[in-house]
Structure 1
Amino acid sequence: MASSTATAGRGGFRAWLVLLGAFTAFLFVVPLWWTVASALRSQEETFRALSPVSVWTLVPRGATVDNFLRLLQGDFGRAMLNSVVVTVATLVLGLAVCSTAAFALAVLDFPGRTAIFAVMVVSFLIPFDAIAIPLWSSFQDAGLQNTYLGLVLPGVGNGFAVYLLRGFFLAVPKDLVDAARVDGLNWWGIFRRVHLPLSKPAMVGAGLILFVFQWQAYLWPLLIAPDPAMKVAPVAIAQLSGEHGVDFGAIFAGAVLTAVVPLLIVLFFQRYFTQSLTTSGING
């Protein structure tokens, strides 16, 4: 009897957890769905369905893709291309820099290693907005304004990505490193042939961090690349609101297009991302 009561209690608790999870998911999904529905409405219907709230608030009447067509006929396509170029470059260079830095901090024994790692941990706790203006002044003096290099460089060194990769590298058995040293590999060979092949989940997790950081960046591209030809997608969306009016339909369409890319990537790689965070949390 007691066993049956305990089982029923666990079943009831599990049901409440499922309901709580479903409700939380609903709170996250509804604003996203409303954005998609608003992107498929005409400019006149954008906010008309909000009052009173009804099923038509989330289901567009007479769905149309005019907002997307109008958006893509302007400069938004170029801005999306700029975002892709800058994000891919940041991803490739960032993984190269962060992985080698994490390897050095995890495997090599040198004076000041702990202090350097502490500084890196503190670096990703400081909001980027706090250093954006002095960094912009330095980049401007270096002639990097309105260049892809100026857009990419601040995202290459990411303290959180280094922290995540270091935790994973610490989990690599020391016996493998010792065996590689016996076989005559130098540290670069150990990094390339031992640690990198074993670090796929961590590399994917760090790559997602670098990708999201750069893809959604707004303040830095606005400061360092005022040239219209260098605009990225978030800046282009913000500039759809001007002194002569606000094109809400195009804004919603742009928000949908810029959200679809990271959403698909995160959904595809979420298993590796979760695994990398779990491993880093245990060994970091």
Structure 2
Amino acid sequence: MDDKELQYQRIEELVFEYQAGSSKAGLEIIQSFGYDPATKELSRYIGKYFNLLRYGVINFKDKDTRLFIRMFVSEQAVRDGLIPFYQYADIKKAARKKVQMINFRLRHLTDEEIINDLCYILLKLAKRYKKKGSKKNFCGFVYNKSFRGELKTHYKYLFEDLLYSKDIEPLEDFIDEDSEITIDDKWYLDLYFEKETQELGFNWILGRTATFPFNQLTRFERTLISLYDHKGMTYEEVGAQMGYHRDTIWSKRKQIKNKIQELLKKPPCD
């Protein structure tokens, strides 16, 4: 039995313990799916849906995500285009437009409220779950349809007319999360010509004053750090400033963090 099977088996045990009245098991289920109430850290399944609902972050490689978006799409060509593993640019653009509408409908909810709703839905499914056959398990029950269907039902009062709604501004063009990003010096001059002496300003972004590990980053990556971490802009504000969609900024910042962590494991010799 491999690690994944052991994990599925452990979650299965937790579900039955939770059904028997164990609140501790309920907490462990939530943690297993990616949210730790103690540290407020988000990851895995719950993190995926939170980032989708709050920030519009779409992983098109994830079938579950594509099928959730598909529930809100009425155009048959787009519905069909979201089924295969690979999506063309027009399908992605239509999907992002629909997710933007979902984000707008949930704008009045706080981060904590969305997270609590996701945890509530997960535990609701845990209470409902019944074992059906030796090859079936709770994780499959959640992934295959139940969670995304329950999520849509939970927000029915907000999503009621979303399937056919067209009342939204068109999205700007954006790049996929795996694309390479480059930018020229003139853009930096326009943005930072008054800020050259700042610690993370123009000279730092160009790499002139950047020290390890930041001198190993690209100009785009240093610019994103300067705007988000130094100036305190939101993902949306950084995206507007740099001309990219906010979920591109979110994805790239995540990549930057991982890149820095890897660089710090192998510091340069003096």
TM-score, length basis structure 2? 0.23
Which of structures 1 and 2 has the larger relative contact order (alpha carbons within 8 angstroms, sep 6+)? 1
Structure label with greater radius of gyration: 1
TM-score, length basis structure 1? 0.22
More helix per residue: 1 or 2? Answer: 1
